[in-house]
A and B are shown apart, each in its own frame.
Chain A
C-alpha cells in the first residue's frame, strides 16, 4: 500500500514538475535567443502577451475543466483587473517605486476581479445548467461598455467619477484624470516585462495545480462529475463552486494586470476585452485540452504566435489559422487519434522496457 501511495504522489507531482519545467525551459531558451539577438522585435513585443494569455487560459481552465462550468466572460474579469490596477499605478506613478507599486497593483487587480467574480457567481452558481455562460457573456460586455463611458479623476479631495465627460469631474487644479472614457487610461508605468510574466505564470500554476490536488479541488471535481452524489456525501455544492470560480476570476484579473502594465495606453476595445477575446481564451482551453493545464499554456502561446508568424501570407492568414485549429482539435479529441497516441506511447514505453531487459 505504501509503495502505491508513494507512486501516486510522485505521479501527480511529476506531472506538475514537468509543467513548471516546461515554462522555465521556455523562458531560458527565449532569454538566450534574445541575448544573442535572434528574436525579431515583433516577437519580442509578443512575449508579455504570451504570458498574459497563458495565465488567463489557465484561469479559464479552472472554471471549464475543473469546475465544469462554462464562462464566456473571462475577458471581462481581465478587464476589471487591468483597469483597477492601471488606475492605481497611474495615481501612484510619482510617489512609489516600481517594484512595490506593481506588487500592490497586482493584489488590487486580483482582489477586485475576485470580488466581481464572487458577486457574479453568488446568484448564478446556485442554478443548474448553462446560466453561468449566459450571465458571464453579458457581464463581459457590460464591464467593457461601462469602462468606455466612465471618467475617473483624482485630486486633493479624493476620487471623482462621472459618466458624462472629463469636465464634469469638477477636479481641483491639482487634479489628474485617470480614466478618460473611451480614450481609456494613458500613461500607465510599464512595470511588466517577460520575466515578471513568467514569474506570474509560475505563481498561477502553483496556485492552480495545488488547488486541484487539495481537498477543495477534489470536492470541486466531485461536483463536476456528479452534483447529486457530491451533495449526498455532504459536500456544499454552492460554496465549492464559488471558491473555484472566484479563484478563476481573480487569476484572470492577474492576467489583466500584466496586460495593462505592458501598454502605455489601455482601452477597453472589443478586440482585447470583448466577446471575441473571451471566445479566443475558450479556444485556448478547448484546444489545449479541457482540464489539461499544461495544454492551455501551449495552446495559448501557439495560437497567439500563429497569426503573427503567418502575417507574410496576408490573405491566406486566417484560412491557415482556421485549418490549424481544426487539425489541433482532431489531434486532441478524435477517438482514433487518441487511440493512435495511446498505442504509440505503449510501443515507446514497451520498447523502453525491452531495452532495459536487454541491458
Chain B
C-alpha cells in the first residue's frame, strides 16, 4: 500500500478551480517530484496535505489513515512535515532552539515543571539537547548551534528548515521549492542533502521544484500539474520527454 494517497482531491477559491481531481500515490521510501508551471496549484496541494486548507472534495490517506479535513497540528502529529517556499524559521531563536521547537511534541513536560525546574525539566531538556545536536550534526549545522537562525547563510537556512521538519519525526517530508534562490553549487549540495535524508532516515519525500536539473537528478517519479489538474504521471525520464509536458512549459 502506498504511504500517501489522495483521491479526487479538489478545492475552489471563489470561482477559481485551484485543484481538480488530483490523485497521487507515493510509495514508502520514494523521492517524488511535483512539477508544473507557475500557478498550476502545487503549493495549494501542499497546503491541502498539511491542513492549511480544507479540501472541498476528495480524501487524503497517510499510511491508510484518513487525514481529510484535519487540523495542521493533528496532521503534523500523524506524520507529515513540511518546509516552505519562502523560508520560515524562528529567526530570533538560536539554531539549536529551532530544532528543539520541532521536538516539542516528543519531549513533553508541563509549564509548571518548566517554571519550577522540577527534575523532569532537567532530564527532558538534556535529552532534547542531545537529540537536537544529533540532528544538527547530521545536517552539518552543529557549529552554528548558538547562532540566531536569521543570521545563517541562505543555504544553511534551507538545511535548518529541513532539520526542524525532521525533528518532528515524520513519515512523509514535503519540500516546497527547496532550491529556490540557490546557485548551482548550493543546488548540488542540496541534492546530496535530500538524497542523504532519504537514505539515512529511510524517509519518503514529496517535493515541488522548478529546477529541472534537481528534479531529473533525484526524483524517481513525477506528477506534472497544469491549471490545477494532473497533466501526466510516471517515471521521471518518461514524463520529462512527454510532448504534453514540454508544451505546457514552453507553449506550442
Contacts and interface: CB of A to CB of B under 8 A. Distances in A.
A218 B100 contact: yes
Contacts of A143: none
B121 interface: yes
Given A211-B115, A215-B109, A215-B114, A234 B77 contact: yes
B167 interface: yes
Given A207-B115, A215-B104, A234-B168, A228 B84 contact: yes
Interface stretch (B3-11, B13-21, B90-98, B190-198): B90-98
A8 B146 contact: yes
Question: What's the interface size class on A, roughly?
Answer: 20 to 34
B111 A214 contact: yes
B174 to A, nearest CB: 10
A42 interface: no
Quick one: which of A211, A224, A233, A235 has the most chain B CB within 10 A? A233
B145 A4 contact: yes
A214 B115 contact: yes
B164 A233 contact: yes
Interface string A217-249: 111011011101111111110000001000000
A226 B90 contact: yes
Given A225-B89, A236-B73, A4 B104 contact: no
A232 B81 contact: yes
Interface in B176-223: none
B72 A231 contact: yes
A233 B167 contact: yes
Contacts of B52: 228
A1 interface: yes
A243 B72 CA distance: 20
Contacts of B102: 233
Interface of A: 1, 4-5, 8, 206-207, 210-211, 213-219, 221-222, 224-226, 228-236, 243
26 contacts: A5-B129, A211-B114, A214-B109, A215-B107, A215-B108, A215-B125, A215-B128, A216-B111, A217-B114, A219-B104, A221-B90, A221-B97, A222-B90, A222-B93, A224-B92, A225-B92, A226-B89, A228-B84, A231-B72, A232-B81, A233-B76, A233-B102, A234-B77, A234-B168, A235-B73, A243-B111
